[in-house]
Amino acid sequence: MQDKVIFLVDMQSFYASVEKADNPYLRNKPVIVSGDPERRSGVVLAACPLAKRFGVKNAERLWEAQQKCPQAVVVRPRMQHYLHVSSAITDIFMRFTDLVEPYSIDEQFMDVTGSQQLFGAPWEIAEKIQITIMKETNIYSRVGIGNSKTIAKMACDHFAKRNDSGIFFLKQDELPKVLWPLPIHKMFMVGSRMSRHLEKMGIRTIGQLAQFPLARLKAKWGINGEVLWLIANGHDNSPVNPTTHDQQKAIGHQMTLPYDYDTRDQILVPLLEISELVCQRSRAKGYMGWVVSVGCAGADFDNPTGFHRQMKLLDPTNLTKEVYRVATLLFDRHWDGLPIRRIGVTLSQLQSDKEYQLSFFNNREEEFALERAVDRMKEKYGNSIIMRASSLKSAGQARDRASKIGGHYK
């Protein structure tokens, strides 16, 4: 059987690279793409390599980045344009294989096992992809190659991003020499908390995890312990699946508020807006949900407060008023009265909205029809075409959010 050949292709400093590609004036300048600092979104979303040389890091606060690199050009994100460019890059990948799986807006997996007779050896295919992306988008890409998705991901993150070619082939028989010496926090799917747990067990490198008794890992973490051991040893049978994101387990949205909300009347405004947005997305995807979850985070970073609670419904729904009613009930029951800075609503345990229980006590069909009619208006003219009166209050965020994608300006 032919060994699998999986790519993880990553766009270097994607948002910043798109801005530089579009504006020749920025080409030789340090560029930072950041949200709006006046609305608590002044966080570095992307920094070009020139800015990173000054120590600028993704996800740090904009003012900290500007202290490190005062000469940096700060650009507000254009999310709609980035999505368009990402889609164009996906189209490039599809010329080489139909097995393309998005991992994020700037990273995608490719299975090129069956493409080698047409396009050459793995390294040759990677070079062709790099050249094509550069020619058509003027964006530099890096390619990690392995026999599985996890190996390809680590090949890209730890090696391809750090060599001159931007390509690295991490072969199975080279794991002990190349991958295993890396510290444990470098391993895919090992976060800071898991890293601390493993280090307390004396596991400080990927190799030590690979050679650790599997039975002890399973006894401590069950199936998760076995998954970690398999990844460390380079075993991952998950396929590159173009439809992997088609079936959702939950639909949710959370919002960082522009200032601390400290009254119930203030908080209920964005709670209703978020409930409406979640239901709108659920209807667009053809889902209803059985479980409504609400979470909020306090304004004091040093003394974290907040909650996350959920409630199962008697019937599945995607109606705004029903989700909002439960969200309000959960909020009133669990809010500690302290100011909050972030709030979110999620609808989970999803099922198709094609089949549901009818009720003798209310006409849900009319309510579904009304909300779908509003959805069609918003789809055609934008979310700001029709809004609830409460969104016109100072606490409302719907008007500002209508001009954004994923919390960032289009």
Bind-site residues for Mg(2+):
10, 106
Residue 332 CB-density burial (10 A; 0-12 exposed, 13-18 middle, 19+ buried): exposed
Radius of gyration of the chain (CA): 24
C-alpha distance from residue 200 to each of 191, 225, 248, 271 (Å): 14, 15, 36, 41
Distance CA 270, CA 399 (A): 11
Q: What angle do CA 343, 344, 350 make, to 5 degrees?
A: 170
Distance CA 126, CA 216 (A): 39
> Which residue is listed with tokens 């393309």?
100
Task: Report which secondary-structure segment, H or E, holds 312.
Answer: strand 306-317
Q: What angle do CA 8, 13, 18 make, to 5 degrees?
A: 105
Distance CA 104, CA 191 (A): 18
CB 315 within 8 A of CB 267: no
Return the exposure string of 148-177: e unless at least 16 CB atoms fall within 10 Å of the residue's CB, then b: bbbbbbbbbbbbbeeeeebbbbbeeeebee
107 is catalytic: yes
Which residue in the list 19, 101, 107, 322 is annotated as catalytic? Answer: 107
Annotated binding site: 10, 106
Q: Which of 330, 331, 346, 334 has the alpha carbon at shortest distance from 275?
A: 346
Q: Which residues are catalytic?
A: 107
